[in-house]
Amino acid sequence: MVINKTGDRPSIGIDTGTAYSSVAVWQKDRVEILPNKFGNLLTPSYVAFTDTEVLVGEAAADQLLRNAKNTVFGITRLIGRKFSDPQVQESILHYPFEVVCSPDDKPQVVVQFRGETRVFQPVEILAILLSEMRGIVENYTGKEAKSAVVIVPAYFSYSQRQAVKDAGTIAGLTVMRMICRSTAASMAHGLDKKGPERKVLVVDLGGGTLDMSVVAFEESNFEVLGTAGDVNLGGDDFDRRLVDYCVAEFKKAHDRDLRTNPRAMLRLRKACERAKRVLSISTETTVELEALYDGIDFHPTITRTQFKSLCADLFDRILWSLQQVLSDANLIKDNIHDVVHVGGSTRIPKVKKLLAEFFNGKSLSRVIEGAAVFGAAHLAATLCSEPSPKLDNYLLLDVAPLSLGVEVDGTISTVMIPRSTAVPTKKTETFSTSQDNQSNVHIQVFEGEGWRIGSNPILHEFKLDGIPPLPCGQGKIDITFDVDANDILHVSATEQSMGIAKTVRIVAGCLPPSEIERMRTEAEHFKYLSERNRLRVEARNALETSAYSLRTAAAERITELRQAIEEAKAIEEISEETLRWLEANESAKNEDLHLKQREVAAALSSLRN
């Protein structure tokens, strides 16, 4: 398909979730959630590497069992993190593909691709998913997509968000804004709401993350009052509890460790995922697995009560996040008008019961499937100033997901911008020198909620030099944190007496431009290989279809010819029989001759036709 690269460009929202990805576009004064080439609105967040190409989505997920070591999924749990992060270590225990540590303590994925061992950063895998979503839009609209609003988990750190931006750049997209999944879903819920202000809590429990937002709606204004969540709590974690239970039961019954057999584990995970869904509508289910290991059939029965017991601490973590989001929003339960749940894992009966009981029996609402990506596309249209009366006077005020602070010369950590502060925002604090005749100060910018020095991730550090010699405590330095609507942080330090200043733009974890360009070029090559293979497969399929059509046509013609030959033989027999009759009937009557003439004429007519 030819893509128009000069006309208007579509406003799009993208959600690359742990389990599934989706994309929506604003056109004709409304949001459309777009189907992929298989007609599905949700695309599995899987990327597979083969001997010939890179597969994405259903094509990748469908070959997982036979190509497990080269099929990558759950990438949002690796992106923007350090390899030594305990959560990364926990995640890689459950992956069939190999994850190794880079020299700078970053996780890297190792696969076999086109006969070679290749190492990819998580940002490259995410870029492939983003590129796939971009392709869906371009194929649907015929227009080039260059920018998007991208959904991220609520508690994604600054480094993780920067990694998402880098992935967008590699995929040929400018990430205009990142928005929390639950906040985006709240927009879909509140766009058509009119009247006085209502405070809504949106709980999004998806495949890999838990996101919560308290949003105040008033006409077309959306103000986020607080966000909370857990980037390591989702449907996958509930699945793992069932998997762990089944592994233990199999070990107890057969004295064999399923974890030593990757194929058996993949089959078990799929079966446990199905069992979890069945338990949402039934009180009991049986995991049916034939010849799971060494020819042994495995049919454990699991009740809903057992499931609740296995996942008790996960439900407690949901409760903790509920309390946290209300605290951040400075609200109590009674201040919430509506509770909205979204995400496949909120269908778990215990989750719905937990939410209802926490809010004293309040009825729950559910928004449309794809609500988050719907809201993201709507925001994208607003940011792109799409000409539409439906976007007039529309405003979204978001919040900082994590606290931002500073340490000066190793002193006590000072929080400059607390978590859930409305953004954009700006804050200045004054600090004093800690020594006589101090000529510089060492400034560390951190992110997180730890109160001890060194307990939070350092985003950036720099020195302000040239401070005039003054007694201890008399040198004054103003430090300013400035966060804009695009989550870009600028930190400035200014010495008061002489105005010596330094400003830095925080780009934690940002890849060098040369590295991004290398990855972008490689991603384009992967896309070219996949497209070339797609065209080859299509040409092969077309040729095969033509060959089968030709075979069918030939067979039909042969049948027709055989029938014609049989008919001709029958007619030939009529002619021979007539000649024999004439020899035997020299004195035949006139009427008999005419009768025979009609028979021969009829045979001749049928032969000519």
- 484 inside domain: yes
Do 453 and 388 share a structural domain?
no
132, 162 Cβ separation under 8 angstroms: no
Do 239 and 226 share a structural domain?
no
Domain at 276, CATH number: 3.90.640.10
- 78 inside domain: yes
Name the nearest CA neighbour of 457 among 445, 466, 442, 441: 445
Q: Which residues are bridge partners to 172 per DSSP?
A: none
Question: What angle (nearest 5°) sits at the alpha carbon of residue 79, between those of residues 155 and 75?
Answer: 105
* DSSP letter (8 states) at residue 263: H
Residue linked to tokens 């993201």: 376
Name the nearest CA neighbour of 271 among 233, 298, 311: 298
Do 563 and 522 share a structural domain?
yes
First to last CA, the chain: 48
Q: Within 13 Å and on the Cβ side, how many CA atoms surround 194?
A: 0
For the stretch 128-154, pLDDT in tens is 999 999 999 999 999 999 999 999 988
What pLDDT is stored for residue 125 in this prediction?
96
Do 27 and 149 share a structural domain?
yes
Radius of gyration of the chain (CA): 34
Domain at 106, CATH number: 3.30.420.40
Name the nearest CA neighbour of 403 among 182, 202, 157: 157
What pLDDT is stored for residue 6 in this prediction?
44
Q: Listing from the earlier edge strand, what are the strands of the sheet with 71-73?
A: 54-56, 46-49, 71-73
Buried b (16+ CB within 10 A) or exposed e, 369-382: ebbbbbbbbbbbbb
The rounded distance, in Å, linking the Cα atoms of 210 and 223 is 20
* DSSP letter (8 states) at residue 343: S
Residue linked to tokens 């931002």: 404
* Positions of the chain with pLDDT lower than 50, given as ranges: 2, 6
Where a domain ends, among 477, 511, 545? 511
- 3 inside domain: no
Tokens of 265: 């584990």
- Phi, psi (rounded to 5 degrees) for 119: -120, 125
- 5 inside domain: no
Name the nearest CA neighbour of 125 among 67, 66, 178, 166: 166
Do 409 and 439 share a structural domain?
yes
Do 331 and 453 share a structural domain?
no
Dihedral sign (CA 323, 324, 326, 331): positive
The rounded distance, in Å, linking the Cα atoms of 389 and 387 is 7
Full domain range(s) for residue 520:
514-608
- 2 inside domain: no
Do 72 and 220 share a structural domain?
yes
The rounded distance, in Å, linking the Cα atoms of 461 and 425 is 21
Do 226 and 106 share a structural domain?
yes
431, 441 Cβ separation under 8 angstroms: yes
The helix or strand, by DSSP H or E, that contains position 224, with its residue range, turns out to be strand 221-230
Max distance between CA atoms of the chain, in angstroms, equals 151
What pLDDT is stored for residue 135 in this prediction?
94
Do 294 and 251 share a structural domain?
yes
Strands 43-44 and 20-27: antiparallel
What pLDDT is stored for residue 571 in this prediction?
81
- 199 inside domain: yes
Q: Which residues are bridge partners to 47 per DSSP?
A: 56, 72
The rounded distance, in Å, linking the Cα atoms of 59 and 537 is 14
Tokens of 453: 């020095």
Instruction: Name the E strands within 466-549.
Output: 476-483, 489-495, 501-506
Do 541 and 392 share a structural domain?
no
The rounded distance, in Å, linking the Cα atoms of 328 and 48 is 41
Rounded to the nearest 10 degrees, what angle do helices 312-328 and 235-254 cross at?
160
